Amino acid sequence: MKKKVLSILTMSVFLCIKAQVQDSLKQKKIEEVIITGQYMQQSIDKSIYKVEVIDAQKIKNLAATNVAEVLNQSLNILITPDTDSGNSTANILGLGGDYVKILIDNIPVVGDTGLGSNIDLTKLSLNNIERIEIVQGSMGVEYGNGALAGVINIITRKNTTKKISVRASLQEETVRDSYDIKKKGNGRHIQNLNVDYNLNSNWFAGISFNHNQFMGYEGSREGYKFFDSSDKTRTRGMDWNPKDQYDASAILRYTKNKTSLFYKVSYLNEKFNFYNPIVIREPLNDGMGGVTYESTDREYNTERWIHQLNVQSKLGHINYMGDFSYQTQDRRYFDYNYDIPKRSVRTKGEERSYYNTDVIYSRGMFSNFLDNKKFDFQLGYELDHTNGFAALIAGEFNSENINRAIFTYSNFLSAEWNVSDKFSLRPGARFSASNRFDNQFNYSISTRLKTTENSNLRAVFGTANRYPTYDELFTYMVNINHDIQGDPNLNPEKGYSISALWDQRFTASNDWKISYGANALYLDVKDRIEMVMVKEPSTYKFMNLDKYKSMLFSANVDFNKNQFALGLRASLLGTSVDMTELEYSTPTDFYYNFQAGASATYRLKDILTSFALYYKFTGPARRYVNTGEGFRLGTVDDFHMMDFIVSQPFWNKRLELSVGVKNIFDVTSVNNSTASSTGHNAGTDRLNLFYGRSYFARLMFQF
pLDDT in tens, 596-632: 999 999 999 889 999 999 999 999 988 877 776 677 7
Is the pLDDT assigned to residue 299 strictly greater than 70? yes
The confidence score (pLDDT) of residue 97 equals 87
Q: Give the percent of the chain with pLDDT over 70.
A: 91
Q: How many Å apart are CA 410 and CA 384, to the nearest integer?
A: 9
Q: Minimum mean pLDDT among 145-149, 495-499, 645-649, 675-679: which range?
A: 675-679
Distance, CA of 702 to CA of 164 (rounded, Å): 10
pLDDT (0 to 100) of residue 502: 94
pLDDT at 233: 62
* pTM of the complete model: 0.89
Mean pLDDT within 680-687: 60
Q: What is the pLDDT of residue 2?
A: 40
Residue by residue, DSSP assigns 159-188 as --SSSEEEEEEEEEE-BTTB---STT-SSE
pLDDT beyond 50 at 7: no
- Lowest-pLDDT range, 275-289, 413-427, 440-454? 275-289
Three-class DSSP category at 491: coil
Beta pairing class for 539-561 and 483-485: parallel
- Dihedral (C-alpha) 285, 290, 295, 298: value to the nearest 10 degrees? -50
Q: Is the per-residue pLDDT at 75 higher than 90?
A: no
Q: What is the tens place of the pLDDT at every residue in 115-170?
A: 888 899 999 988 888 899 999 999 999 999 999 999 999 998 888 888 899 999 99
Query: What's the rounded mean pLDDT across residues 500-511?
Result: 90
Q: Residues 530, 541: contact at Cβ < 8 Å?
A: no
8 A C-beta contact, residue 394 and residue 419: no
Q: Give the pLDDT confidence score for residue 447 in this predicted structure.
A: 94
Inform me whether the pLDDT recorded for 305 exceeds 60.
yes
> What is the distance between the alpha carbons of residues 83 and 666, in angstroms, rounded to a whole number?
18
Among 6-15, 61-70, 150-159, 536-545, where is mean pLDDT lowest?
6-15
Q: Phi-psi category of 674—alpha, beta or left, where left has phi over 0 and alpha has psi -120 to 50?
A: alpha
Q: What is the pLDDT of residue 20?
A: 34
**Residue 128 · residue 105 · CB < 8 Å:** no
Q: What value does the mean pLDDT take over residues 461-477?
A: 88
- pLDDT, residue 585, reads 77
Q: Do 691 and 217 meet the contact criterion of CB atoms below 8 Å apart?
A: yes
Q: What is the pLDDT of residue 12?
A: 36
Higher pLDDT, 44 or 6: 44
pLDDT band at residue 211 using 50, 70 and 90 as cut-offs: very high
Contact 317, 326 (CB under 8 A): no
Q: How far apart, in whole angstroms, are the C-alpha atoms of residue 621 and residue 637?
A: 7
Cα(500)–Cα(693) distance, integer angstroms: 38
- Residue 679 is predicted with a pLDDT of 47
> Is the per-residue pLDDT at 424 higher than 80?
yes
| Average pLDDT of the chain to the nearest whole number | 86
Give the number of other Cβ atoms within 10 Å of residue 449's Cβ: 16
pLDDT-derived band of residue 232, with 50, 70 and 90 as boundaries?
low
Nearest partner of 588 among 597, 599, 580, 596, judged by Cα: 580
Tell me what pLDDT residue 680 has: 45
pLDDT at res. 184: 66
| pLDDT above 80 (res 667) | yes
What are the angstrom distances between the C-alpha of 608 and each of 41, 167, 400, 534, 612?
33, 19, 61, 65, 13
27 pLDDT above the threshold of 60: no
CATH 2.40.170.20 given to domain 34-233+248-702: yes
Q: Which helix (H) or strand (E) holds 324?
A: strand 318-339
Per-residue pLDDT at 665: 95
Comparing 5-14, 354-363, 675-684, which segment has the lowest mean pLDDT?
A: 5-14
pLDDT for 682: 46
pLDDT at 677: 52
